[in-house]
Amino acid sequence: MRKKIVAGNWKMNKTLQEGIELAKEVNAKVKGLNASQVKVIIGTPFIHLAEVTKQVDPAVVSVAAQNCATEVSGAFTGEISAAMVASTGSQYVILGHSERRSYYGETDEILVKKVARALENKLEVIFCVGEVLAEREAEKHFDVVKSQLVNGLFNLSADEFSHIVIAYEPVWAIGTGKTATSAQAQEMHAFIRKVVAEKYGKEVADNTSILYGGSCNAKNADELFANEDVDGGLIGGASLKAEDFSIIVAARAKH
Ligand code: PGA
């Protein structure tokens, strides 16, 4: 059975003190929801990880980094290794977010290395895929997403792939207030599951959690999560308010 997941992506927001407050608030609200069947994750800036993991109940909230280095260790000034992330008690890492791909030039080759480092350190990976608007308008969105999956992940064994969560985030919907329709999300999620099944078989595909991201909020989460292949959400803006985030968790718990 695949997991239902609601993951927050705080991006570059919140000072350490603000982050601690937000994490505590999220922990308290989510605990009250009895959302035990939903895996709740918060993706914080690196600097917050060690402290935030201490502030939340690991049975209620798991913690994710938003990136990790391609290399194991050494002279890479300013980089943060997967081993360092794991040593904070964080269990997840978000990789391949479209902002990393477009602003920091993360290619498929780079992501293959990052995924390998994450898995070597027993981190679960939330791997983001998604097309830009021009690609959707040119009806290339399926090809784009398939190529991101094939080139970023399909070097993995089936066993390794069981530690991957996929997040479909159409780039035109991220931070724009323009959500994919429920039908567009379901269509792409079913396609992703089919592509995974072709490579790893139906059982692995059925056990893979596929999250939707892109202006998912307290108002539209319910409709998105009602879809068979939408296993949860990767939430940006709405994860910065504990109240909105907990409404989204409740929406996921309901279906
Ligand atoms: P958004 O961001 O919810 O603010 O659109 C989602 C994401 O980038 O993960």
Closest residue by Cα to residue 124 from 216, 41, 10: 41
Q: 213 C-alpha vs ligand 1 centroid, how far in Å?
A: 6
The pLDDT tens digits of the residues spanning 6-40 come to: 999 999 999 999 999 999 999 999 997 765 689 99
Phi-psi category of residue 9: left, alpha or beta, with phi > 0 → left and psi -120 to 50 → alpha: beta
Q: Which pLDDT score, from 0 to 100, does residue 36 have?
A: 67
Q: Is 217 in the pocket of ligand 1 (CB under 6 A)?
A: no
Closest residue by Cα to residue 124 from 182, 228, 52, 211: 211
The pLDDT tens digits of the residues spanning 132-186 come to: 999 999 999 999 999 999 999 999 999 999 999 999 999 999 888 888 899 999 9
Burial of 75 (0-12, 13-18, 19+ CB in 10 A): exposed
Closest residue by Cα to residue 241 from 29, 4, 15, 1: 29
**Beta-ladder partners of 129:** 168
Active site residue 97: yes
Q: Which pLDDT score, from 0 to 100, does residue 55 have?
A: 96
Q: Is 9 in the pocket of ligand 1 (CB under 6 A)?
A: yes
Burial of 2 (0-12, 13-18, 19+ CB in 10 A): middle
Q: How confident is the model at residue 255 (pLDDT cuts 50, 70, 90)?
A: confident
What residue's CA is closest to ligand 1, atom 9?
236
Burial of 77 (0-12, 13-18, 19+ CB in 10 A): exposed
Closest residue by Cα to residue 39 from 156, 216, 191, 165: 165
Rounded Cα distance between 202 and 193, Å, is: 9
Q: Is 169 in the pocket of ligand 1 (CB under 6 A)?
A: yes
- Helix 141-153 and helix 108-120, axial crossing angle in degrees, nearest 10: 50
Pocket test for ligand 1, best of 129, 211, 216, 217 (most atoms within 8 A of CB): 216
Residue 96 near residue 148 (C-beta atoms within 8 A):
yes
Q: Is 43 in the pocket of ligand 1 (CB under 6 A)?
A: no
Q: Which pLDDT score, from 0 to 100, does residue 178 have?
A: 83
Q: How confident is the model at residue 254 (pLDDT cuts 50, 70, 90)?
A: confident
State the average pLDDT over residues 47-62.
97
Q: Is 22 in the pocket of ligand 1 (CB under 6 A)?
A: no
Q: How confident is the model at residue 63 (pLDDT cuts 50, 70, 90)?
A: very high
Q: 75 C-alpha vs ligand 1 centroid, how far in Å?
A: 32
State the average pLDDT over residues 55-61.
95
The answer to whether the pTM exceeds 0.95 is yes
Catalytic residue among 99, 106, 124, 169: 169
The pLDDT tens digits of the residues spanning 33-53 come to: 765 689 999 999 999 999 999
Catalytic residue among 48, 97, 141, 189: 97
Q: Which pLDDT score, from 0 to 100, does residue 212 have?
A: 97
State the average pLDDT over residues 103-119.
98
Mean pLDDT, the chain, rounded, equals: 96
